């Protein structure tokens, strides 16, 4: 097994050079994934991956608050990833979006989902789905700087009103 992994590593190294600091590119090359036009994905598919991409950024952000019990970290993260918080962030960042980002957000917001968040209004849930679709779009296009800029703007507004 170890020898097989070494062979795979060798093949990767001989393939087109990969920027080891570009997470998505490392994943694509390492798993031999094909490139797909992001705009062909449904808005709910973008929200599916965007939810996890946003969650990873928030967990990284919360982790930087200091070494503390995992349940406390989890509570802090959950406050920022729930639908109500994402909806509030959208209210802050929507004016900052360019035309394409706004279109992706609206596609996600207007998508017909057959599920509902446990503790959110329908409006909050739909805005949160649009937010997640936007995060998925930014993640899949490798627009990490833009993604973090928008999240930072949303977090800054939230942290001005109540410390997480």
Catalytic residues: 51
**130 contacts 105 by C-beta, under 8 angstroms:** yes
**137 contacts 43 by C-beta, under 8 angstroms:** no
The DSSP 8-state label assigned to residue 16 in this structure reads: S
**132 contacts 117 by C-beta, under 8 angstroms:** no
**53 contacts 139 by C-beta, under 8 angstroms:** yes
Kindly state the tokens that stand for 135: 């995060």
Rounded to 10 degrees, the C-alpha dihedral 59/143/130/148 comes to 40
């Amino acid at each position: 097994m170890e020898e097989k992994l070494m062979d795979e590593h060798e093949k990767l190294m001989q393939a087109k050079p990969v920027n080891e600091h570009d997470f998505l590119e490392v994943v694509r090359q390492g798993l031999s994934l094909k490139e797909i036009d992001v705009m062909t994905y449904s808005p709910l598919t973008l929200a599916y991956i965007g939810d996890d991409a946003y969650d990873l950024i928030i967990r990284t952000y919360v982790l930087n608050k200091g070494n503390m019990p995992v349940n406390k970290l989890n509570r802090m993260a959950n406050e920022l990833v729930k639908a109500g918080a994402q909806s509030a962030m959208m209210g802050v960042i929507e004016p900052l979006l360019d035309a394409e980002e706004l279109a992706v957000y609206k596609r996600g917001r207007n998508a017909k989902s057959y599920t509902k968040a446990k503790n959110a209004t329908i409006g909050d849930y739909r805005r949160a789905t649009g937010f997640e679709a936007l995060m998925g779009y930014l993640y899949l296009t490798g627009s990490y700087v833009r993604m973090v800029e928008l999240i930072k703007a949303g977090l800054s507004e939230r942290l001005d009103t109540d410390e997480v």
